[in-house]
Structure 1
Amino acid sequence: MRALIVVAVVCFLAGCGAPSMGELRGWGSNQAFGSKKTSSQLSKCVQGAWQSQSAADGSPGSYVQSWGNTGYTVVTKGSHYFVDIDDSPSGSMAKFYVVVSDTIAKNRLSSLQGCL
């Protein structure tokens, strides 16, 4: 997985552009987590946490969009960091994706984990 991220970064720096959200989903998530919260509850928590980070560090803001039949995607402007959140029998499942593993990605992941 890390090799794919490196390839994506090299391609981006070479002017090819960042991979799409669909491409990242096809490659698989960077990390996945289960939560006892519903997908709606978890997506609201993550979006709020990511918005707070944006205000504090000037990183891209975030928004929520529908994903699949019962899920949500919390995504930053530019789609460099996003999490797909779907309902599961025990609550919800969150799949975290990043284009570039940097400090912002680590902060977004930490916020996601704090919401679980």
Structure 2
Amino acid sequence: MKPAILLLAATLLAGCAAPSSSARSAGPLKILASGKTAAEVAQCIEVSWQDTKLFGDTADVFLDRLDDGGFTVFTTQTRYFADVVRAGAGSEIRFYASKGADQIPLRAASIATCL
């Protein structure tokens, strides 16, 4: 019985794992700049992506701190994610999405409201 519980827990946790470097290998779909701090932009993206009126029941969004002091905001199974890093006095946002993902324009527009 215990192995089944461990498998279930591992499966559930896999959906909320931060994006790997291989997920970034193809490069971002968009690169944006903001005069706001990385923390301000990342928190705004996290909140806006949690809007179930816009994104339906796929609104599970997570925030992870990067080693360089930036942040990654990502959805379940890292279908969409944004790296938000310091750039001068502001920040740079790199937006990534899985091929064929249907909410790319909407998620990108949502990021733009946080700039």
Interval containing the TM-score (normalised by the shorter chain) = 0.7 to 0.9
Identity across matched positions, percent: 24
Contact 1:54 1:60 in 2 (8 A): no
Partner of residue 89, structure 1 = 88
Q: Residues 33-72 of structure 1 correspond to what in structure 2 (within 5 A)?
A: 33-53=32-52, 57-72=56-71
**Separation of aligned partners in 2, 1:73 and 1:65:** 5
**Separation of aligned partners in 2, 1:80 and 1:39:** 21
SS at match of 2:113: helix
**Separation of aligned partners in 1, 2:100 and 2:112:** 16
Partner of residue 77, structure 2 = 78
| Unmatched 5+ stretches in structure 1 | 1-19
Contact 1:51 1:62 in 2 (8 A): yes
User: Which 4+ residue blocks in structure 1 deviate beyond 2 angstroms?
Assistant: 53-56, 100-103
SS at match of 1:78: helix
Contact 2:81 2:97 in 1 (8 A): yes
With over 3 angstroms needed to count, the CA separation of the structure-2 counterparts of 1:40 and 1:62, relative to structure 1, is same
**Separation of aligned partners in 1, 2:92 and 2:62:** 18
| Unmatched 5+ stretches in structure 2 | 1-18
Residue 95 of structure 1, CA deviation: 0.2
* Cα deviation 1:36-77 (Å, max 9, x = unaligned): 010000000000000014775122411100113210000001
Residue 102 of structure 1, CA deviation: 3.5
Which of the pair has more CA radius of gyration?
2
Q: TM-score, normalised to structure 1's length? A: 0.75
**Separation of aligned partners in 2, 1:23 and 1:54:** 31
What's the Cα RMSD here?
Answer: 1.8
Q: Which moved more, 1:53-62 or 1:101-110?
A: 53-62
